[in-house]
């Protein structure tokens, strides 16, 4: 009989291709990682890896596919069993970006802890793409995302439409310069000859949407400063390094922003919502949390 702990160690080792890193991720000793692999090879009576250099054997590749499927199915099953049993002890895992969690989840989490004191909340700080992967694998029970495409095995529920704003001084001046020609002198708000747009990296869904809409700004040639989160976009724009293109809901009044906010009605709207697995059983705790989150959704603040 194959032990699930051995399979989990094997799957992790196959992904990391390093005994020491596997031990660290699984909070084990390196000799125990080797022992799990040895026990797995003895039970299956086949060699599963070559060590120098590290690679899976043909048998190892075959076992990896089955082990990944088995572990994921068990994870999904356990999550559904917890929901069916109306879990009042344990952990509820949420995947969301930092800006979504700070602006939308703090008050719902406070309400959740009061009503469900026996359930711990685990928050994964992720991009929307990473959140989808965590929910698919049942490592997260719930994900909050922007621009999610409906796809198996996930179900997306929209909470609100997302519109876009430009945060930062100088946008109107840059647009005027582009309309009048390159010889128009810059104003004190614009630094250097080229405007700087502060955008998310190319590995995000929102960047794909933004890139398609940037020509509508009618700017002169510009530079792009890439950062890793909407929070970073806001901070760099507030510090005067350029103009950030961000979701309107992220510009919450409590941030006390001082830079100019320009609504961008010509940019395509997208959706903010939550994802769960198709046919996922939702516990009373998850349903109540989603109710509190829906109450927290604010109207888009537009300031100029």
Q: Model confidence over 272-297: pLDDT tens digits?
A: 899 998 888 788 888 899 999 988 87
Q: What is the pLDDT of residue 302?
A: 41
Q: What is the pLDDT of residue 297?
A: 76
Q: What is the pLDDT of residue 300?
A: 40
Q: What is the pLDDT of residue 150?
A: 62
- List, as own/partner pairs, every contact residues 180-188 make where C-beta atoms lie below 8 angstroms and the sequence separation is at least 24, other chains included: 182/220
In the beta sheet, which residues pair with residue 154?
A: 277
Query: Average pLDDT in the 5-16 region?
Result: 91
**78 pLDDT higher than 90:** no
**36 pLDDT higher than 70:** yes
- How many whole angstroms separate alpha carbon 52 and alpha carbon 276? 41
**19 pLDDT higher than 60:** yes
For 221-261, the pLDDT digits (tens) are 899 999 988 889 999 999 999 999 999 888 876 678 899 99
| Prediction pTM value | 0.66
């Amino acid at each position: 009989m194959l032990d699930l702990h051995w399979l989990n160690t094997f799957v992790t080792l196959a992904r990391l291709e390093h005994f020491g890193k596997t031990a660290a991720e699984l909070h084990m000793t390196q000799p125990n990682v080797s022992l799990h692999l040895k026990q797995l090879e003895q039970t299956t009576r086949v060699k599963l890896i070559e060590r120098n250099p590290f690679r899976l054997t043909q048998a190892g590749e075959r076992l990896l596919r089955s082990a990944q499927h088995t572990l994921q199915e068990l994870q999904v099953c356990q999550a559904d069993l917890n929901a069916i049993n109306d879990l009042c002890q344990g952990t509820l895992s949420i995947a969301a970006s930092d800006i979504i969690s700070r602006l939308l989840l703090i008050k719902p989490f406070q309400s959740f802890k009061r009503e469900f004191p026996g359930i711990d909340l685990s928050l994964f700080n992720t991009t929307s793409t990473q959140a989808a992967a965590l929910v698919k694998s049942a490592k997260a029970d719930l994900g909050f995302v922007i621009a999610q495409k409906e796809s198996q095995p996930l179900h997306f529920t929209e909470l609100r439409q997302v519109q876009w704003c430009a945060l930062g001084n100088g946008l109107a001046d840059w647009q005027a310069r582009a309309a009048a020609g390159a010889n128009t002198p810059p104003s004190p708000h614009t630094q250097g000859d080229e405007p700087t747009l502060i955008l998310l990296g190319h590995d995000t869904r929102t960047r794909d949407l933004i890139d398609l809409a940037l020509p509508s700004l009618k700017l002169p040639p510009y530079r792009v400063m890439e950062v890793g989160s909407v929070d970073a976009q806001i901070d760099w724009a507030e510090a005067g390094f350029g103009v950030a293109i961000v979701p309107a809901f992220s510009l919450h009044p409590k941030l006390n922003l001082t830079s100019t906010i320009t609504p961008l009605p010509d940019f395509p709207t997208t959706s903010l919502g939550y994802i769960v697995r198709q046919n996922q059983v939702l516990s009373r705790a998850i349903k109540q949390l989603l109710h509190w989150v829906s109450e927290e959704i604010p109207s888009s603040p537009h300031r100029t």
